[in-house]
Structures are given as structure tokens and as C-alpha cells.
Structure 1
Amino acid sequence: MYLGDEAWPDLETYFETESLALVPLGSTEQHGPHLPEATDHLIAEAFAREVADRTGYLCTPTITVGVSGHHRQFHGTMWVEPPVFRQYVESLTRNLTSHGIDRVIYVNAHGGNVPHLREVGARLRLDETAFAIEWMWDESIPELVDDLFEQNGPHGGPKETAMIQYLESELVHDDRLEEARDTGVPDVDAAEGIKYGSRTFYDAADNTENGVLGDQTDATPEKGRQLFEAASDQFVQLCEWLAAQPFEDLLPKDHV
């Protein structure tokens, strides 16, 4: 069920009988010369809508701009400062709890959002308002990602390329895949951003001239389909597990 499509009287039954909501989040940021800036939030929304359709759980509108200041050197990247992002996500989540939601899954497709979503979730759990957790599609199927791609990125690499080829093929510049590979870097080690145990980089531009890593020519729509279906199955199982938990079991443990 997509919240934005419903009239308010038709949502009453859901809020009376269910306590779980899915909140898709991503970014609007550079993904190399071949992918749209919407890549992350398109992927997040696709998963949230798919699983909402399969399970009947509520999907909210998508948060399309995230913590992306580390991509700011590239044209068109949009971002908000981390405290603003955390405050917005927390306020939105508390809004959901006013309707009776007490557990939330942040359907996240942007790595830069992760620590901030974790912080928000921890605060909401600590004051026993809600249990909110973050889910990333590729982290639910790491073996499949490794099996399909020799150099999988992470950013703007073949796994994200394959996903957008499958979901929104018309937005992919397939004629630029070789350019993306040849003017980027193959992997994190090749970027040489870690020296003597220290992360010496702050921005994507410190590591890669064109903003991306990996071998984008290894992506295909069929691989994207495999990724999407496998991760969707994992996400469905997470939803069913979370919905079945007694709320008190999700709260912080008592002091020893």
C-alpha cells in the first residue's frame, strides 16, 4: 500500500491493524557519467513499493535528498547537512507514530545515510517511541553481488548500473559504460585513500576523477533482475520478522 495514493478515510483500517511502515530513502547525487543522479532514491523506492505490494505493508513517500556533501564537486549533486537530515527523518518517523506506527524500516540505498539513520533509530528506541532500523539491498545479498561482479564498485559500479538497467533502462547511458570504467578506479584499494591505517580521503573526488568505482561494463539488465528479486525476497522476510515481534521485545534491555 502506497500512502500517497490513499484517501485518508481509507487508511484507518491499516493504522488500526498494522504497526509497520516502510520509508524509502536515497540521494540525488552524481553516479558517474552513465547513471542518473536519482540512482539511489529510484532503487530505494522500487524496493519499498515492490515489497509493500507483496506484503500489504505501508510505503511512505520517498526521501530523495540525503547526506551527500562528499559528492559536492560534481554538477547537480544535492545534499543536506547531517544534523538537518537526522532531524527531518526523526520528525517524519515521530509523525508516523502519531498514527499508531511503532516500527519502521528505512529502505535505504545510499551509504552516506547509514550512520545517521542508525543514530535516529537509536534515539527513537531509547525513548521507547519506535523501533526503526535501516536496510540496504546489497547488504542483504552479499554473496550474490560477489558472484555476479568481479569489481562491484561500490559507488556507481556494476551492481548499481545493473539495477538501473533493470528498473529504468532509459536513464542509463550504455554508450558511456567503457568511459565510466576507464576514467574511474576499479576498487577501493586502487583509490589509495587509506594510508597506514588512516582514511585520508573525505570526498569522492579525492578517490576517483569521474566519481565512480568498478567495472560498469560487467552490468546487464538480467543481473539487475537477479539482484532485485533476491534482495526483495530478503526484504519481505525482514518485514514479516519485524511485524511479528512483540514491541516490548524490541526495546532496550534493562540494566544488568
Structure 2
Amino acid sequence: MYVADRTWPELGEYVAEESVALIPLGSTEQHGPHLPLATDHLIAEGLAREAADRTGYLCTPTVNVGVSPHHRQFHGTMWIDPPQFRDYVESLTRNLAYHGIDRVVYVNAHGGNVDHLREVGRRLRDDGTMYAIEWMWDESIPDLVEEVFEHNGPHGGPKETAMIQHLAPDLVREDRLEAARDGGLADVETAEFLQKHGARTFYDAIENSENGVFGDQTDATAEIGERLFEAATEQLVRLLEWLDEQRLDDLLAPAHVDPQPGSRRE
């Protein structure tokens, strides 16, 4: 159920029976010479809307701009600074709590959002508002991703290329796949990243990849993208069903171990 397509009485009927919602989040940032800047939020929205359709749970509009300052050197990249991103997502999620939602899945497709979404989830859990967790699509199917690609990449690589070939094929510059591979970092495992004596000495994607992407994009196909999409959707549906079955009290922050602070004071 997509919230923006519904009337308020229809949503009243939903919250009278259900308390689960999905919030898709991505980014608007460079994904090399072959993929659109919309890549991450297209993937997040596609997965969230499909899982919502299959389960009947509520899906909100997509957060299209995320924490992406590490791609800022490339034209068109947009970003929100981490404190503002966390506050925005927290405020948005509290909207849902006001209307009766008490458990949320952040359907995420951008690595730069992960830590900040987990921090928001902790805030909401610790003050007893709700249980909100971050879910990253490719982390739900790591074995399949490893199986289908010889040279995967963490950004703009074959897994994201295949997903967009499946979801929005008209947006993939198929004639630029070889250029993406050759101008980026094709074999991530053998690369010598800028690290010295145990310290990571780089901050931005351009420091490791001239065109901003990693992996061998020529391995991607729409058929593989469909497999990835279906497998990830199945995992998301299972997560939602598990979440709905839990008692809220079991999801919220546990109490302090006994004795409780101050319990011996007179």
C-alpha cells in the first residue's frame, strides 16, 4: 500500500489493523558514465513498493537524497550532511509513530546512509517511540551476488548495473559499460587502497576510482538483475513478516540489569 495514493479514511482503516511501514531511502549521486544519478533511490523504491504490494504493508514516499559527500567531486551529486539527514529521517519516522505505526523498515540502497539510519533507529528505540531498523538490499543476498559476478564492486558495479537494467533499462547507457570498467577500478580485491599502517587515508571515491565506479559492469544483464531483485524482495518480505509477528515490548530497548540504578536509595 503506497501511502501517497490513499485517502486519509483508507489510512485510518490501515492503522486500525496494522502497525508496520517501509521507508525507502537512496541517494542522488554519480554512478559512473553508464548509470543515472537516480540509481540508488530507484532500487530502494522498486524493492519497497514491490514488498509492500506483496504484503499489504504501508510504503512511504522515497527519500531521494542521502549522505553522499564522498561523491561530491562528480557533476550533479547531491548530498545532505549527516546531522541534518539523521534529524530529517527521525522527524519523518516520528510522523508515522504519531499515526499509529510502531515498527519501520528503512529500505536502503545507499551505503552512505547505513550508519546514520542505525543511529536514528537507536534513538527511536531507546526513547520507546518505536522499533526502526535499516535493511540494505545487497547485504540480504550476499551469496547470490558473489555467485553471479566475478568482479563485483561496492559502487556503480555489476550488481547495481544489473538492477537498473531490470528496473529502468532505458536509463542504462549500454554503450558505456566497457568505459565504466576500464576507467574505474575493475578488480577491487587486488587493489591497493590508500592505507598506511592500518589507517584508511582516503575519504572520497575519486581517490580510488577516476570515474567513480568499481567492478566489471560488463558482467551485468537484465536477467541477472531480475534474479537479484526477486531474491532481495523475498528477503525483505520475510523480514516484514517476522517483524509483524514480534511483541513490541520484545523489540524495544531492554531494561538496565538489576539492581536498577538508584534502587537502593532511601
Interval containing the TM-score (normalised by the shorter chain):
over 0.9
The alignment status of 1:242 with 2:243, answered yes or no, reads yes
Q: CA deviation at 1:193?
A: 2.6
Kindly report which structure 2 residues correspond to 1:40-59, keeping only aligned pairs within 5 A, or say none.
Answer: 40-59=40-59
Residue type at the aligned position of 2:125: R
Matched position secondary structure for 2:107:
strand
Cα distance per residue 1:45-74 (max 9 Å; x no partner):
000000000000000000000000110000
Distance 1:50 1:207 in 2: 35
Q: Distance in 1 between matches of 2:10 and 2:64?
A: 26
1:189: Cα distance to partner? 4.7
Show the counterpart of 2:254.
253
In the TM superposition, residue 8 of structure 1 has moved relative to its aligned partner by 1.0
Query: What 5-or-longer segments of structure 1 have no aligned partner?
Result: none
Question: 1:13/1:242 Cα in 2 relative to 1: closer, same or farther (>3 Å)?
Answer: same
Q: Residue 107 of structure 1: SS of its match in structure 2?
A: strand
Percentage identity across aligned positions? 70
The TM-score normalised by the length of structure 1 is: 0.98
Other-structure match for 2:233: 232
Structure 1 outlier segments of 4+, above 2 Å? 193-196
2:133 paired with 1:133: yes
Partner of 2:224: 223
Match of 2:184 in 1: 184
Aligned partner of residue 190 in structure 1, secondary structure: coil
AA aligned to 1:10 is E
Query: C-alpha distance in 2, partners of 1:212/1:191?
Result: 15
Query: 1:201 deviation in Å?
Result: 0.8
Distance 2:224 2:195 in 1: 31
Does residue 90 (structure 1) correspond to residue 125 (structure 2)? The answer is no
Q: Give, in angstroms, the shift of residue 103 of structure 1.
A: 0.4
Q: How does 1:1-256 map to 2 (within 5 A)?
A: 1-186=1-186, 187=188, 189-190=190-191, 192-256=193-257
8 Å CA contact retained: 1:27, 1:65:
yes
What SS class does the counterpart of residue 94 from structure 1 fall into?
A: helix
Question: SS at the partner of 1:88?
Answer: helix
Deviations 1:51-102 (A, max 9, x none): 0000000000000000001100000000011000000000000010000000
CA deviations on 1:118-170 (whole Å, 9 max, x unpaired) are 00000100000010000011000000000000111010000000000000000
Query: Aligned Cα RMSD in Å?
Result: 0.8
What is the CA–CA distance in structure 2 between the aligned matches of 1:194 and 1:23, rounded to whole Å?
35
State the Cα distance separating 1:12 from its structure 2 match: 0.8
Amino acid at match of 1:71: H
TM score, norm. by length of structure 2: 0.95
| Structure 2: tracts of 5 or more residues without a match | 258-266
Distance 2:164 2:44 in 1: 11
Shift in Å at residue 190 of structure 1? 1.2
